[in-house]
Structure 1
Amino acid sequence: MRGLVAAGVYVPRFRLETDELERAWGTNRAAGVERKAVPAADEDSLTMAIAAARRALEDAPLERGAIETVAAATTTPPLEEGDFVSRLVRALDLPAAVATATATQHTAAGAEALARALDADGPALVAVADCPEGTPADADHPFGAAGAAFVIDDDAVVPVVDVAWHSDETSGIRFRERGDRGVDSLGITTYERDAVREAVTAAVSSLDVDAADAVGAAVHQRDGSFPYRITNELSLSSESVATGTVADHIGDVGAATVPIGLLSALDEVGDDLTVAGFFGGGSAAALACEGSLSVRGVTDIESAETIDYSTYLRERGYIVDGEVAGGGANVSVPNWQRGLDRRYRLVAGACPNCGGVTFPPDGACQECHARVEFDEFEAPRTGTIRAVTVIGRGGAPPEFASLQQRDGAYAVAIVSLETDYGSVTLPAQIADADPQSVAVGNTVVATVRRIYTQEGVPRYGVKFEPVADTD
């Protein structure tokens, strides 16, 4: 039966305790959320989707070239108009001929993407990521950031035994006006809760399974207590709802909340029934799954680095103007486009004459200096720092100044990647680390992050993050 063969979760390392919100504003509009995940200044819904998808694909029992469908879901794409899924396909080195779909505009978008993959023929990848924002004084309080990914195929480890839908107009539950970055709602608590409860109840009740048999459940959760309030007309036990409730630890992550909750439940339950109830401000969907699955990255839900509220405001860009003095180095879109394989996947070149390695694989061989057509290959994503420096405040080139306003000083290193042809060395920014703690000899691993925005288009590429010491 068709369903999940692998999955992955990505949650940013930063957490903001909601007690910080109360100290800052005198009130906490995130009741039921103990802490929320905070994206770093160079993270967005695309980078989190890539990270989660990479984890899912690493555990999938198939080659990436076998993927025939890619479905993505987010309510916060980097560009209001601009293809989201094509960047995902390129960064993950998936076949250019894959069928693609992007679902957005409502928090049940993850269910749409999953349904598309389940209806498709052949292996499929689903990536769901979100980082909603709101007015810092109130609406923003519960919003977090995270991503989830699923590899779907026949002969599944976790079959999806049924999918059901319910649709009705329920205006004002959650909306974002065109051109506005902030999410808002009517704020009529009883009306909103009843609308979600009625829609989710209708969808789950339409499944060809008895929800009373579920030992795991993930339902629409704008906070940690909301799932229990909207399931009182369903026969779901409190214990089953607890397995899929994650908003109390990572916040409301929009379209990604229920998918992450579902994977949290599947990672915990045995070979029994798990149900998921999605809500999107009118549409609701329900999935029924059987079995359990080890999910890479699910422990990120609990692990975290706590930050204070002023750091949070900077990382999210609420208190920086983004203005940059000077022109910086202009790299045109066509030139950037030609280098995507090396920027995303560290594609290097082996010289057919001398066997030496060249990165990037352009021009003459760096060993024998011959003009050749290189044999391209992907360098390993794990390497070693050979030299490092810290770019202090005000010292960044103009194109990186906006990031530095939000994230402060950052480390830049020469990283060595060992290949069968020799060492690949390249300069790169170091992410997710105190720059003063980065040292020569550290082991680092590649991650795709936002580099800067130029000509109105976000530019993405590889940075490196330190590998945690497991001793």
Structure 2
Amino acid sequence: MRGIAAAGAYVPRFRLSTDELADAWGTSHASGIERKAVPAADEDALTMAVSAAERALSDADVDRDEVTLAAAATTTPPLEEGEFVPRLVRALDLPQSVATATETGHTAAGAAALSRALDADGPALVVAADCPEGEPADADHPLGAGAAAFVVSDDAAAAVGDVAWHTDETPGVRFRERGDGDVGGLDITTYQRDAVRGAVTEAVSSLSVDPEEADAAAVHQPDGRFPYRAAGDLPLSNEAVAAGTVVDRVGDAGAATVPLGLLAALDGADDGETTVAAAFGGGTAAALAVEGGLSVAGVADLDGGTDIDYASYLRERGYVVSGEVSGGGAHVSLPNWRRSLDQRYRLVAGQCPECGGVTFPPEGACQSCHARVEFEPFEASRTGTVRALTVIGQGGAPPEFAELQQRDGAYAVAIVALESKEGTVTLPAQITDADPENVAVGDEVAATVRRIYEQEGVPRYGVKFEPTE
């Protein structure tokens, strides 16, 4: 039966505790949430989607060239107008012939994307990634971040037995006004609770499985208490709901919360166990029944992380950063940037057919014999060693990196050596996810796709490196 063959989870390393938040505001509007995940200054929905998808694809018995559909779900795409998935396809080196789908605008988008993949022919990749924002004094309190990825194929370890829907208009239940990045709502608690609970009840009750038989359930969870309330009219045990609840550890990750809860429940589940997922958004509730389980790469991220204080949180999220800098900085035209995407995402280098030397980027003359040749492309290793290092102190960043530095502080830039069977690729790169003072020459680092900077209103992405320990 068609279902989930492999999966991957990604949660940013920074965590803000509810106690820290309450100390800052004198109260907390994050009911039932102990910690929430905080995306770093160079992370967004796309970078988290790439990280989760890489983990899922690495565990899948499917070649990337075989993927026939790439579907993504998010309420926070990098651009309000402009497709999300083509960048994901390029960063993951999926075939350019792959069909694509983007589900956005509501928190049930992850379930909608997964449902589309179940109807596809051939292997499909689904990623739900989100990092919603809100008014810091109120709506922002429960909002977190994360990503969940699924490889869907036939004869899967975790078969999806049924999908059911329920749709009705629910005006005022979580929305964003056009052109506004902040999540809003009417704060009519009883109305909202009843609308969501009714929709979730109808969708789950329409499944062919008996909810009372479910061993785990990932239910719509904008806070830690809501999934139990949303399931209040269903014969789901509190133990089952708890097994699929992750919002208490990562916060409300929008369209990714229920998919992450589903992965938490499926990780290590036995073949005979049943997991129900029920997501709600924009008046639509979607329910899925999954039989069996699998090992989920990255699921340990749910309980990991590094605690930060509230002032650091405000900077990382850009709430107290203007982003305004003086000076022009380096300008790389979009056509030139686009031509270098294979190098920036996949570390594609070239081997000289004359002398066997390696050149990165693979253009111009061979760096070894200086001959003008047609290089033989190959992907360099994604792990390497720091050969040289410098730290760019506060105020020392070039203008195009100044906003990153305002939000994240000093950062390290390294010369990284990547050893491949074709030879050694050496390149300069930023180090991320590490205190720059704790990085040293000789450290092992691994490539990760992150946001580099923004020019002409368009975010640009590429490889940075993070310490492996």
Same fold per superposition (TM over 0.5): yes
Partner of 1:292: 293
Please state how far the C-alpha of 1:419 moved relative to its aligned partner. 1.2
Please state how far the C-alpha of 1:444 moved relative to its aligned partner. 0.2
Partner of 2:379: 378
Q: What are the equivalent positions in structure 2 for 1:200-215 lying under 5 Å apart?
A: 200-215=200-215
Please state how far the C-alpha of 1:156 moved relative to its aligned partner. 0.8
Partner of 1:149: 149
Partner of 2:232: 232
Q: What are the equivalent positions in structure 2 for 1:15-414 lying under 5 Å apart?
A: 15-271=15-271, 272-414=273-415
**Structure 1 CA distance for aligned equivalents of residues 282 and 35 of structure 2:** 25
Q: Secondary structure of 1:416's match?
A: strand
Question: Do the aligned residues in 2 keep the contact of 1:73 with 1:109 (CA within 8 Å)?
Answer: yes
**Structure 2 CA distance for aligned equivalents of residues 269 and 125 of structure 1:** 21
**Structure 1 CA distance for aligned equivalents of residues 319 and 215 of structure 2:** 41
The aligned amino acid for 2:161 is: V
The aligned amino acid for 1:293 is: L
**Structure 2 CA distance for aligned equivalents of residues 405 and 142 of structure 1:** 24
* % identity of equivalent residues: 72
Partner of 1:439: 440
The aligned amino acid for 1:261 is: G
Partner of 1:6: 6
The aligned amino acid for 2:382 is: R
Q: Secondary structure of 1:102's match?
A: strand
Q: Secondary structure of 1:22's match?
A: helix
The aligned amino acid for 1:433 is: A
User: Which runs of 5 or more residues in structure 1 are unaligned?
Assistant: none
**Structure 1 CA distance for aligned equivalents of residues 407 and 133 of structure 2:** 16
Question: Do the aligned residues in 2 keep the contact of 1:132 with 1:254 (CA within 8 Å)?
Answer: yes
Please state how far the C-alpha of 1:31 moved relative to its aligned partner. 1.2
CA deviation string 1:9-62 (max 9, x = no partner): 000000000111111111100011101000000000000000000000000001
Please state how far the C-alpha of 1:64 moved relative to its aligned partner. 0.5
Please state how far the C-alpha of 1:230 moved relative to its aligned partner. 1.4
Runs of at least 4 residues of structure 1 off by over 3 A? Answer: none
The aligned amino acid for 1:107 is: T
Please state how far the C-alpha of 1:79 moved relative to its aligned partner. 0.3
The aligned amino acid for 1:178 is: R
**Structure 2 CA distance for aligned equivalents of residues 268 and 142 of structure 1:** 28
The aligned amino acid for 1:146 is: G
**Structure 2 CA distance for aligned equivalents of residues 27 and 154 of structure 1:** 49
Q: Secondary structure of 1:396's match?
A: coil
Please state how far the C-alpha of 1:281 moved relative to its aligned partner. 2.5
Q: Secondary structure of 2:127's match?
A: strand
Please state how far the C-alpha of 1:226 moved relative to its aligned partner. 1.1
Equivalent pairs counted in the alignment come to 468
**Structure 1 CA distance for aligned equivalents of residues 39 and 421 of structure 2:** 36
Q: Secondary structure of 1:399's match?
A: helix
Please state how far the C-alpha of 1:83 moved relative to its aligned partner. 1.2
Please state how far the C-alpha of 1:421 moved relative to its aligned partner. 2.2
CA deviation string 1:421-469 (max 9, x = no partner): 221000000000000000000000000000000011100000000001x
Q: Secondary structure of 1:147's match?
A: strand
Q: Secondary structure of 1:194's match?
A: helix
CA deviation string 1:267-326 (max 9, x = no partner): 143221100001003000000000011000000000110000000000000001010110
CA deviation string 1:201-254 (max 9, x = no partner): 000000011011110110000111211111121111111111100000000000
Partner of 1:450: 451
Please state how far the C-alpha of 1:370 moved relative to its aligned partner. 0.2
Question: Do the aligned residues in 2 keep the contact of 1:216 with 1:269 (CA within 8 Å)?
Answer: no
Please state how far the C-alpha of 1:396 moved relative to its aligned partner. 0.6
Q: Secondary structure of 1:57's match?
A: helix
**Structure 1 CA distance for aligned equivalents of residues 357 and 121 of structure 2:** 42
Q: Secondary structure of 2:354's match?
A: coil
Question: Do the aligned residues in 2 keep the contact of 1:36 with 1:249 (CA within 8 Å)?
Answer: yes
**Structure 2 CA distance for aligned equivalents of residues 29 and 331 of structure 1:** 43
Please state how far the C-alpha of 1:129 moved relative to its aligned partner. 0.2
**Structure 2 CA distance for aligned equivalents of residues 31 and 280 of structure 1:** 19
- Bigger CA drift: 20-29 or 71-80? 20-29
Please state how far the C-alpha of 1:375 moved relative to its aligned partner. 0.3
1:429 maps onto 2:430 in alignment: yes
**Structure 2 CA distance for aligned equivalents of residues 345 and 207 of structure 1:** 42
**Structure 2 CA distance for aligned equivalents of residues 243 and 268 of structure 1:** 12
Question: Do the aligned residues in 2 keep the contact of 1:243 with 1:268 (CA within 8 Å)?
Answer: no
Q: Secondary structure of 1:159's match?
A: strand
CA deviation string 1:72-130 (max 9, x = no partner): 00000000001100000000000000000000000000111001100010000001100
The aligned amino acid for 2:323 is: G
Q: How does the TM-score come out when normalised to structure 1?
A: 0.99
**Structure 1 CA distance for aligned equivalents of residues 435 and 30 of structure 2:** 29
**Structure 2 CA distance for aligned equivalents of residues 270 and 187 of structure 1:** 40
Q: Secondary structure of 2:417's match?
A: strand
**Structure 2 CA distance for aligned equivalents of residues 21 and 138 of structure 1:** 11
The aligned amino acid for 1:291 is: G
Question: Do the aligned residues in 2 keep the contact of 1:215 with 1:269 (CA within 8 Å)?
Answer: no
The aligned amino acid for 1:227 is: P
Q: Secondary structure of 1:320's match?
A: coil
**Structure 2 CA distance for aligned equivalents of residues 376 and 52 of structure 1:** 26
